[in-house]
A and B are shown apart, each in its own frame.
Chain A
């Protein structure tokens, strides 16, 4: 009896081993002559739907050769993993600060580039019974609401901006994000740039010490709290507010124009003079018709790709750069469909200037990929196999 059992077990083990060996052989045989590559990135959860869609599209374009694998672990996680070189590119709604840049300069001998890849916009969402979309706010009103100085919706400051709306007396409930978030970063940086008091008492960042209010977790938490509480005001991303049919307000920008939040207004907001490294928060934008509460979402990539432990070979580095160039040019076509605002031309130009500086062991592969794109622009990436042969 025991002999039978042990023979059975032996047989099972042998068959498993054989099937593994066979499957490995089969897989190897069906692979094309070019290597498949996983481009690994991680970071903010806000742009995750866009990057995932881009990854899908790019995979089809490259005949399933290149798969971009993006993990949405949060901006903080993205920055950490980027510094520790476990990922090829990171994404964050906060640009790398000087400390981190100095660290990377030390460890890789080159800079880290922050390249905007999409825009994030934040709108004030509210729940006032009987009042629909389009309540006008200005910077003083928003600051005073969130500082707790305006406590009732029938306050004259609000009525002044909205002559056509009759506000009943209703106490204001502030709703904010309880989790660290790039949306909070943009909202608080706007309030910091329009109010000195906010800047010194609360400050800006992904998590701040809110003077008052209820915290909800994630866009969903804030939306849920706002929708369930009459008299509440909170902040959400524009696409979230649209998708969930929430009433959101318009904001008067620094030029005095009432801007209704939209993707075009967000793109317009970024259409300003940008510094060469694009590390700027353009909340309270000087653009005349730009929506004032918006910001970039950046991709972070090393200048010296050979020093990034996650990138193992020159061909991998070239593929990463190719994806970057595609994402900031043709990939932007996916934006509106998914609820994102596309990059303005100024940002694309700055990105191209930065990509041109990307090097592999001193060689400017960034410039090579850009030339490829300039040349092969009508051919699209699918025909890039010839480009691969020429670059390799």
Chain B
């Protein structure tokens, strides 16, 4: 006697008819609501930022160099665009190679126990709140950078090459370089996680074929693994880039918040999220508020473009997708 196959009493038909439809409805509503919320977000930023865009023109606003909420009430977003561009590109450039190297080490070289431990540690960096990293930066990292890196270079420049001083700027410790390095630290986990997944998905046949051709371990990685995984690597990088663009707290605490161009290497700067978080609360004047919203809109558009670019590149570069050779 097969005990496992005792048939259960069948459900009344209404359960399956109604249940499926309810489930479908709920799923569709949830999915659509995400799209609607994003559209709503875009709409609100456009509506609230409209006053500033009307006043300065969209191109005029983006290329405007002066952010003056005091006397002249003119607002231009160029300093912040510049600051965001430099810090995000800089942090990606700094973080890319170490992150990929960590991922390769975890998947290819490390013993399993070591690999797992490093993987968890790296994910832990992503779990640390941005504000905590900011505080560590203010009290530990920035003074250390000031003493060990900025001041020696600054003092060397004073003696040997004073013409460099305006480019170097005031070595107070809070500035673009400190913020870029901290940002690089914060985005490493994103690149590493996606790269590691991509590397793990490379089929064993590819590796064995490379070994069969007489390749060393490094050559196998270079010839067979990384090219196969490049879609994932790039997706990880661009995701990290998107994160770096929008990173607010740590950057606001470390970047020194100088809203006027020109920026210098060691001196303070500003990014789009940092100016929004600094000035939003107390912005009484409606043009000021509208300009901050317009900066939010620009940030939104940039993130959207970055994500679209990421999707396109991943599709093109992934093996088996797109029209690549």
Residues on A lying within 8 angstroms of B by beta carbon are 73-77, 79-80, 94, 171, 173, 178-182, 188, 200-217, 221, 224-225, 228-229, 232
Contact = CB atoms under 8 A, between A and B. Distances in A.
B70 A205 contact: yes
Contacts of A77: 281-282
A335 B288 CA distance: 34
Interface residues of B, number: 35
Contact of A209 (B70, B173, B253, B284): B70
B231 interface: no
Given A76-B282, A76-B283, A180-B282, A214 B174 contact: yes
B70 A215 contact: no
A73 B277 CA distance: 13
A226 to B, nearest CB: 10
A214 B279 contact: no
19 contacts: A74-B282, A77-B281, A77-B282, A94-B284, A171-B170, A178-B252, A182-B282, A201-B71, A207-B69, A208-B70, A209-B69, A210-B259, A213-B258, A214-B268, A215-B268, A215-B270, A215-B278, A228-B139, A229-B172
Contact of B138 (A181, A201, A209, A228): A228
Given A203-B72, A209-B72, A216-B257, 16 more contacts: A74-B281, A76-B283, A178-B257, A179-B281, A180-B69, A180-B283, A204-B70, A207-B282, A207-B288, A210-B260, A214-B257, A214-B258, A214-B268, A215-B258, A215-B259, A228-B173
A173 B172 contact: yes
Nearest to B274: A178
B70 A207 contact: yes
Contacts of B69: 180, 205-209
A201 B66 CA distance: 13
Contacts of A73: 281
Contact of B257 (A206, A211, A217): A217
A188 B70 CA distance: 10
A75 B172 contact: no
B142 interface: yes
Interface in B132-179: 138-139, 142-143, 146, 170, 172-174
Contacts of A79: 284
Contacts of B257: 178, 214-217
Contacts of B139: 224, 228
Contacts of A217: 252-253, 257, 278
Interface string B294-318: 0000000000000000000000000
Interface string B260-286: 100000001010001001110111100
A369 B284 CA distance: 33
A211 B70 CA distance: 12
B159 to A, nearest CB: 15
Nearest to B253: A217
A228 B259 CA distance: 22
A232 B172 contact: yes
A221 B137 CA distance: 12
A15 to B, nearest CB: 26
B149 to A, nearest CB: 15
A200 B68 CA distance: 12
B172 A207 contact: no
Contact of A203 (B67, B70, B173, B288): B70
A206 B283 CA distance: 8
Given A202-B70, A217-B257, A80 B138 contact: no
A173 B268 CA distance: 11
Contacts of A203: 70-72
Nearest to B282: A180
B256 interface: yes
A112 B184 CA distance: 51
Contacts of B278: 178-180, 215, 217
Given A200-B71, A228-B138, A76 B268 contact: no
A384 B63 CA distance: 62
A209 B259 contact: yes
A45 B196 CA distance: 47
A273 B256 CA distance: 41
A79 B283 CA distance: 10
A209 B71 contact: yes
Given A173-B172, A228-B138, A215 B256 contact: yes
A76 B281 contact: yes
A75 B283 CA distance: 8
Nearest to A216: B257
B260 A209 contact: yes
B66 A209 contact: yes
Contacts of B258: 210, 212-215
Contact of B173 (A188, A211, A229): A229
A173 B284 contact: no
Interface in B224-245: none
Please provide the 5 A-B residue pairs with the shortest distance between their CB atoms, ordered closest to farther.
A180-B282, A215-B257, A178-B257, A203-B71, A208-B70
A201 B270 CA distance: 21
A320 B280 CA distance: 29
Contact of B253 (A182, A210, A221): A221
Nearest to A218: B278
A122 to B, nearest CB: 16
A226 B284 CA distance: 28
